[in-house]
Structure 1
Amino acid sequence: MDESRLLPAPSHIIGPTWRRLKSGGWYLPEKTLGWQVINWMAKYINQPSGPNARKPFLPTLEQARFLLWWYAVDDNGEFIYRAGTLRRLKGWGKDPLAAAMSLAELCGPVEFSRWDSNGEPVGTTRSAAWVQVAAVSQDQTRNTFTLFPGMISSRMKARYGLQVNRTIIYSEVGGMIEAVTSSPTAMEGKRPTFVILNEIQWWMENNQGHEMANIIDGNVTKAAFSPCRSLAICNAHRPGEDSIGERFWDACQDVLAGHAVNTGVLYDAVEAPADTPVSELANLIEDPEAYEAGLEKLRKGLEIARGDSVWMPIKPLVSSILDSRNDITESRRKFLNQINATEDSWISPTEWDRCFNAEARALEYGDAITLGFDGSRGGDWTALVACRIDDGALFSIKVWNPERYDGQIPREQVNATVEHTFSHYDVRAFRADVREFESYVDQWGTKFGKKLKLKATAKHPVAFDMRGANSEANKAFTVDCERFEDAVLEQQIVHRGDPVLRQHVLNAHRRPNNHGIAIGKASKDSSRKIDAAVCAVLAFGARQELLMSKKNRGRKAVVYR
C-alpha cells in the first residue's frame, strides 16, 4: 500500500476498502479481475432477499471496492492476496457476499487468463473448482447455504448445469461447493481452490476451530495446479478467548507494527470511531442537551460502522444498544464492530484511539522532550520513547525486537540511538530502567546528567531502578501508571497512531501492588510485549514531574497528580 498517495487513515479503518487518495477519490488497485467478477455476478446471481429479491446481485460500493482488492493481480497476473479477513458488524451482509463469491469461484472469471489489448487482466472460469464453506457448526454453514437457492438464477443454473443440494452444489464440469464443519481429520489432505472460513470469532480450541484453521491453511498451501485462497468473515472477537478471529487480528497488528512480514494477507475492517459513546452518554434527566449530543454521536458512529449497508436502520440499533438488558461490551462488539479490552486490561483500544491525532505535529529536531527507556539483553524488547513537553505527544524513537538481531539486542546500536537523540533534541529528563543495561545507564548519567533539568531519582540523573517491589522508583512508576491512564481517559495524551506503541499499550494489564495499580504482561511468559508502554509511562512521568518542579515555573501545561 503506497501510503504517500493516501490520506491518513483514522484508527477505525483497517485495510484498503475505505482509504482515499490525496488527489481525491477512492484508492483502488491498478489491475484487478474484480470488475469482470462484479459484472458476472450481476448477470448470473440474484439478490437473495429484501425489496430487490430476485433482481440482479449488485454489491454495494463498499463491497465492490473489497472485491476489486480481493481480485487484484500483479504484473504477472498473480493475486496480490493469498488470504484475507473481512470483519464487519452484525447484519452488514457478509454471508450474502461470501455466497456470491463462492458462486463466482465455482463458475465465474476468477482465474487469470491473459492481458487484453489495453493491458487489463482477463479472467476465465477455473476448471474443477472446489469451494469449501467451513465453520465449526452446521448452523454457521447453514447461514450461507440457505442463500444459494435464491441467489442462483435460472440462467446460471442452465448455463453451468448446476445441481443444488442442501449442503453441496455441483457444476456439470466437475466443480463443487461443499459445506464442511469441525471434523478436521476428514478435511486433511483436501485440495480446494477457495475456502470461506465462516464466523471465525467462534473458532476456538474446545470446538476444534484451531485444528480446522491449521488444516485449511495446509490444504490451501499445497493446492496443486491452481492457487487456492481463503477468506475469513467475522464480527469483532472477544479478547482473551484465543479464537481464530483473535489470532488473525493479532497477526494483522504484528504486520502493522512491523513485527512480521506481510505475506499477502488482506485484513479489512471498519469500526465506529473510538469516541462513539455508549456508557459515556450523559444522563437524560440531568443534562438532556448533552444526552442528545451524545446520542447523535452514537448515530454517526453506527453509520460509519455499517458503511454502505443502508438496509440496517439506525434507530433500532440505537434502541438495542441503549437497552439496559443488553451488555454494553457485546453491543460494541456486535454493532460498532469494536474490539473491546479484557477485564484486567490497562487501557482499552477505544480509549487509546481517542487520543489519536493525525494532525499532531511530528517530532522535530530541537523539540523539548523527556525520555523513557526499558532495556533487555534478548528476552524482552528494548525501547526508547519520547514525550514532548509542550503537548504531551508520545513518539517511539526506536524499538528493538531481539528476533531481528539473532536473539540479542544490539546494545551498541541502542547506545548510538540514545546519543543521537541527545544531540538532536532538547532532552530535559531521562528515566531509564537499569535492569540488564546498568553499565550503559551509568554511562548516560555521566555523559548527559548535567544537561538534564530533572534527575530520574535523588541518587542518579538517569537510572530509574524498578527492581524491588518497595523501591522508590517502583512506587513512582505505579503512580505514573495511574497518571498516564487518567491522562488517556481525559485525552490529554496525544499520539500519531504509532502501531508498535499502540500494540504494547493494549497488551498491558493492570497489576495491583502496595502503591496502587501498575502494569505488567498478561503472564510472565506471555509473548505479548509491553516494553514500549513501560517507556511511555517513564517518559510521561518524567514530563509530569518536570512540569510540577520549580524549574518549570511560569510554563503552562496540564499536570496529572
Structure 2
Amino acid sequence: MPYLEDGTWKPPKYSLGWGLCLWIEEWCVHGPGDVQGEPVHLLTPDENGWRDVEFARFIVDAYEIDRTGKRVVNQAFLSRPKGRAKSELAGFIGCGEALGPVRFDYWDDDGNPVGKPVKVAYLRIMATEENQAGNVYDVIRHNFEHGPLSEVPGIDAGLTRIILPDGGEITPSTATAASKDGGKETWVCYDETHLWTTPELKRTYNTVRRNLVKRKAAEPWSLETSTMYAPGERSVAETTHEYFRQVSEGLIKDQGVLMDHREGPWVNINDDKELKEALTYVYGSFAKVMDLDRIVQEIRNPATDEEDARRYFLNQVVAGSDQWMDLSAWKARRDDDDPIMPRDQIAIGFDGSIRDDSTALVGCRLRDGKLFLIGIWEKPEGAEQADGWEVDVLEVDAVMADACKTYRVEWVYADPMFWQDIVGRWAAEFGEKKVFEFWTNKETRMAQALERFHTATVTGQLLHDGNGTIGRHVMNARKRIARSGVLIRKETPRSKKKIDACVAAVLAYEARGDAIADGRLKKRRARVHGF
C-alpha cells in the first residue's frame, strides 16, 4: 500500500478510481464555502491549469482492484492538515458510492476495468456532533439538492437522510452505538477521527465497522478523515495510525489498509521562510488556493499553542507532556548515507521478555553511535494468536550468534530478567569480557544511561538508520520521575504500545560508551595510494 509521507506514488495496476474521478468531475460540484457550486477538478485542469492531483491519487489508490475485479482496500485513512478539504473529498466519494461506477463490472477491449453502481447502496456518514449532520453529509446533500445529481429521477434529499432511486439510503449519524447495530452499510465515512476520544464514540466506531462484513457482494469499505491526533488521547485516529504502523512493519497481516498521511517537515515555526515552505509542502496541490499568510498569522497569534499549531496546520504528531523523547529530535538523527556494514565494530543492547512484552536486540556502531535493529520479537495482534504465545528463545539465541559472526561485537549489555541462563551462556560463548549483565530495574544506573541517550539524541551525538520499530518504541516511552532521575515506562502497565526496543537501544548506546572508554575502538586506517 502506498504511504505518501515521502511524496512518492506508485499507481496500482488496476483501479476503478480513474473512472470515478471523471464521474465526480461530471456530476459533482463544490459544497458550501467560497467555491460553492463550482466544478471539481481532479484529472482535468481548470482554466488556470490547476487540478487536485493529490486527491485524485488517493481516489485511484482507494479503488484499487485485483485481477478478478475484487476490491483491495477495506479501510482507508486520509490524514491532512486543517482546511485541506478532506471532508469535501469524502463527500464526493460518498456521491460516487451512492450512484457512481464504483464496483467492478467487466474488462473493456483494452483490458481496463469498467465499473457499475452498488446495488441498493446504504451509506452512513458518521460525525461527532449531536443533532448535526457533519461536513461530509453537507457536501453530499448540497450535491443532491443543487448540483447535477439533483436532476436524477427518484432522489429524495433531506436534512436527516437521502433516499436513493433503488431504495438505498444515505444517513448521517452520531454517537449512540446501540442504534447502529444490525445495519447493512456498503460504505461508511468517519469524519475527523482525531476527535473520537470518548468510550461511546469508540463503541460506535467498532459497531459500525463490524456491520461492514455483512454484504459480501457489495464489497463494503470505510473511509476515515482526520487531522493529526494528540498522542495519548487514544482517539480512533491514533489507534488507526498504530494499526498501520504494525502492518507496515510486518507485525500483523495487511487486511486491506490504505494509509494516506502527509505531514510537514520539522521546522522552526518562528522562521517565516521555513514555515511557509513547510505549509506549502503539507497542503500539497491545495497550497495555491490556501491563504498561507493568514495561516502564518494564526500560528503567530499568542493565543495559539505551538503544539496545536503543529498538529492542525503541519499535521505533525506532537509529544505529550509526559513523552520522553521529542519526535523532531529523533527524526533529526536519521542518517541514510553511511549504512551499517559487516565487520563494523558494534555494541549490542538486549531487553527480553517471555510472553507479553517484546524482546529486542539493537546494535550501535562504535565509530559514530549509529543505532540499528538486529532482531525484534513482538506478540502478534489478532484473535488468531494463541494465548500461550512465547518468544522463541532458540531463534533469539540464533540471531545473537549470527550478529556476533557478522559484526565485530565489542560489548554487550543484556538485561538478564527472565534470561539469566541465556545471558550467562552468551558470556561463556562470546566472551566474559564482552557480554555483561545490565539490570534495568537498578534505577540509578538506568536513569544515568537514559540521560546520556537522551542528551546524545538532542545534541546530535547519536544517529540511527530510520528503523520504524526502534522509532515507534522510543516514541511510546513515557517519563517516570524517580529519586534517581528520569526513568521510562509504558503508557499504562497493560498498554500494547511497547518500549522494549527503546530500552535495548539505550543499553546498546551505553555499551558503546563503555567499549570506547575501555579502548576497544579501532581507528580505520586511511589508504595511501602509490605504495
Please give the TM-score of this superposition, normalised by the length of structure 1.
0.86
Alpha-carbon shift at residue 475 of structure 1 (Å): 2.6
Taking the aligned partners of 1:146 and 1:466, their CA distance within structure 2 comes to 55
Look up the match of 1:142: 134
Alignment match of 1:384 (pick from 331, 337, 361): 361
1:508 alignment partner AA: A
Look up the match of 1:91: 83
Preserved CA contact (<8 Å) 1:351 1:488: yes
Gaps of 5+ in 1: 2-13, 21-25, 282-293, 453-460, 557-561
Look up the match of 2:457: 488
Taking the aligned partners of 1:296 and 1:93, their CA distance within structure 2 comes to 25
Alpha-carbon shift at residue 163 of structure 1 (Å): 2.2
Alpha-carbon shift at residue 75 of structure 1 (Å): 0.7
1:58 alignment partner AA: H
1:519-534 equivalences in 2 (<5 Å): 519-534=488-503
Q: Pairwise CA RMSD of aligned residues?
A: 2.3
Alpha-carbon shift at residue 242 of structure 1 (Å): 1.8
Is 1:185 equivalent to 2:178 in the alignment?
yes
Gaps of 5+ in 2: 43-51, 526-531
Q: Write out per-residue CA displacement over residues 331-380 of structure 1, whole angstroms, 9 at most, x where no aligned residue.
A: 111111112222111113333222223x2333221011110011222232
Of stretches 407-416 and 50-59 in structure 1, the one that deviates more from structure 2 is 50-59
Q: Write out per-residue CA displacement over residues 102-122 of structure 1, whole angstroms, 9 at most, x where no aligned residue.
A: 111111111110111111110
Alignment match of 2:118 (pick from 121, 126, 131): 126
Taking the aligned partners of 1:163 and 1:379, their CA distance within structure 2 comes to 54
Alpha-carbon shift at residue 321 of structure 1 (Å): 1.3
Look up the match of 1:423: 405
Taking the aligned partners of 1:114 and 1:220, their CA distance within structure 2 comes to 24
State the SS of the aligned residue for 2:285: coil
Preserved CA contact (<8 Å) 2:367 2:521: no
Look up the match of 1:15: 3
Q: Label 1:373 to 1:389 Cα distance change in 2 as closer, same or farther (>3 A).
A: same
Preserved CA contact (<8 Å) 1:360 1:495: no
Preserved CA contact (<8 Å) 1:434 1:464: yes
Q: Label 1:524 to 1:146 Cα distance change in 2 as closer, same or farther (>3 A).
A: closer
Look up the match of 2:528: none
Taking the aligned partners of 1:344 and 1:385, their CA distance within structure 2 comes to 25
Of stretches 164-173 and 319-328 in structure 1, the one that deviates more from structure 2 is 164-173
Look up the match of 2:299: 321
Look up the match of 1:164: 157
Taking the aligned partners of 2:253 and 2:367, their CA distance within structure 1 comes to 36
Q: Label 1:351 to 1:400 Cα distance change in 2 as closer, same or farther (>3 A).
A: same
Look up the match of 1:277: 268
Look up the match of 2:430: 448
Q: Label 1:154 to 1:538 Cα distance change in 2 as closer, same or farther (>3 A).
A: closer
Is 1:234 equivalent to 2:226 in the alignment?
yes
Taking the aligned partners of 1:96 and 1:139, their CA distance within structure 2 comes to 20
Alignment match of 1:395 (pick from 369, 372, 378): 372
Preserved CA contact (<8 Å) 2:94 2:140: no
Preserved CA contact (<8 Å) 1:140 1:198: no
Alpha-carbon shift at residue 547 of structure 1 (Å): 3.1
Taking the aligned partners of 1:360 and 1:506, their CA distance within structure 2 comes to 23
Preserved CA contact (<8 Å) 1:360 1:494: no
Of stretches 67-76 and 438-447 in structure 1, the one that deviates more from structure 2 is 438-447
State the SS of the aligned residue for 2:286: coil
Taking the aligned partners of 2:390 and 2:168, their CA distance within structure 1 comes to 51
Look up the match of 2:48: none
State the SS of the aligned residue for 1:114: strand
State the SS of the aligned residue for 1:86: strand
Q: Label 1:553 to 1:80 Cα distance change in 2 as closer, same or farther (>3 A).
A: closer
Taking the aligned partners of 2:481 and 2:147, their CA distance within structure 1 comes to 65
Q: Label 1:39 to 1:475 Cα distance change in 2 as closer, same or farther (>3 A).
A: same
Alignment match of 2:320 (pick from 326, 342, 365): 342
Alignment match of 1:466 (pick from 440, 449, 469): 440
Alpha-carbon shift at residue 400 of structure 1 (Å): 1.2
State the SS of the aligned residue for 1:104: helix
Look up the match of 2:39: 56
Preserved CA contact (<8 Å) 2:366 2:521: no
Alignment size in residue pairs: 509
Q: Label 1:17 to 1:349 Cα distance change in 2 as closer, same or farther (>3 A).
A: closer
Of stretches 46-55 and 375-384 in structure 1, the one that deviates more from structure 2 is 46-55
1:436 alignment partner AA: F
Q: Write out per-residue CA displacement over residues 180-216 of structure 1, whole angstroms, 9 at most, x where no aligned residue.
A: 111222211010111111111121234x101111111
Is 1:199 equivalent to 2:176 in the alignment?
no
State the SS of the aligned residue for 1:271: coil
Alignment match of 1:28 (pick from 11, 16, 19): 11
Q: Label 1:377 to 1:142 Cα distance change in 2 as closer, same or farther (>3 A).
A: closer
Preserved CA contact (<8 Å) 1:272 1:302: yes
Alignment match of 1:503 (pick from 466, 472, 476): 472
Q: Label 1:550 to 1:94 Cα distance change in 2 as closer, same or farther (>3 A).
A: same
1:424 alignment partner AA: T
1:294-313 equivalences in 2 (<5 Å): 294-310=271-287, 311-313=289-291
Alpha-carbon shift at residue 139 of structure 1 (Å): 6.7
Identity across aligned pairs (percent)? 28
Preserved CA contact (<8 Å) 1:385 1:536: yes
2:509 alignment partner AA: F
Preserved CA contact (<8 Å) 1:17 1:69: no
Q: Write out per-residue CA displacement over residues 261-282 of structure 1, whole angstroms, 9 at most, x where no aligned residue.
A: 1100111110112x2223xx4x
Alpha-carbon shift at residue 396 of structure 1 (Å): 0.7
Alpha-carbon shift at residue 30 of structure 1 (Å): 1.0
Look up the match of 1:176: 169
Preserved CA contact (<8 Å) 2:191 2:224: yes
